[in-house]
Chains A and B, each alone.
Chain A
Amino acid sequence: DIQMTQSPSSLSASVGDRVTITCRASQSISTWLAWYQQKPGKAPKVVIYLASSLESGVPSRFSGSGSGTEFTLTISSLQPDDSGTYYCQHYNGYSGFTFGPGTRVHVK
């Protein structure tokens, strides 16, 4: 089975900062990766799919990149509403969906 890891596990940054979260897969997954934002007590919302495609309605300050085993989610100018936990997710046709452990983002 493919394992997903994320780094850092948590971060604290100021409004306007550029923030990058990394997700790594234990083997190559091409660009079959999505990113989700989850706020406390709420369901996750998709931010990025296919590694770099911005979901409709998501602010353009979010971007995704990467392929193979290493991926990044970047927030170009962090806003107060961006606080929450971010999860990467891989889809595999044989086994379904696998989530990473999450990265908690705190906005100072």
Chain B
Amino acid sequence: QITLKESGPTLVKPTQTLTLTCSFSGFSLSTSGVGVGWIRQPPGKALECLALIYWDDDKRYSPSLNNRLTITKDTSKNQVVLTMSNMAPVDTATYYCAHAPRMPRGGTQGGYYYYYMDVWGEGTTVTVSS
């Protein structure tokens, strides 16, 4: 059974750096074809994927937030860490992490296989305020 759980501060001040940890079980991020993503959702708004890390340490970032985000993995601890710098009140949101398996039967596009998010954590709420 795959489970994920997000942890981190509930309150950060503007300009601070946010560090969130996704602790997971039921899979290994050293297994080929596995990814973990971070997604956020401001109150009353839509989902936004922030970053994605693959088993081979390849990474993807949201183009609009690329220069503020860093995603890393610790395979021995079964954790993925997201840091977001220069936090502002607009970054107030619920932050989720999710398991993303590769689906080979979707074929390839540009040499890449298809992924989707099949198991999510329950989320952690972060408020940015002075």
Contact = CB atoms under 8 A, between A and B. Distances in A.
Interface in A84-102: 87, 89, 91-102
Interface string A15-34: 00000000000000011101
Contacts of B93: none
Interface of A: 1, 30-32, 34, 36, 38, 42-46, 49-50, 55, 87, 89, 91-102
B27 interface: no
Interface residues of B, number: 32
Interface in B100-115: 100, 103, 105-107, 109-115
A73 B96 CA distance: 24
A89 B117 contact: yes
A46 B118 contact: yes
Contact of A32 (B47, B114, B123): B114
B123 to A, nearest CB: 5
B52 interface: yes
Given A46-B117, A49-B103, A95 B63 contact: yes
- Chain A CB within 10 A, most for which of B62, B110, B117: B117
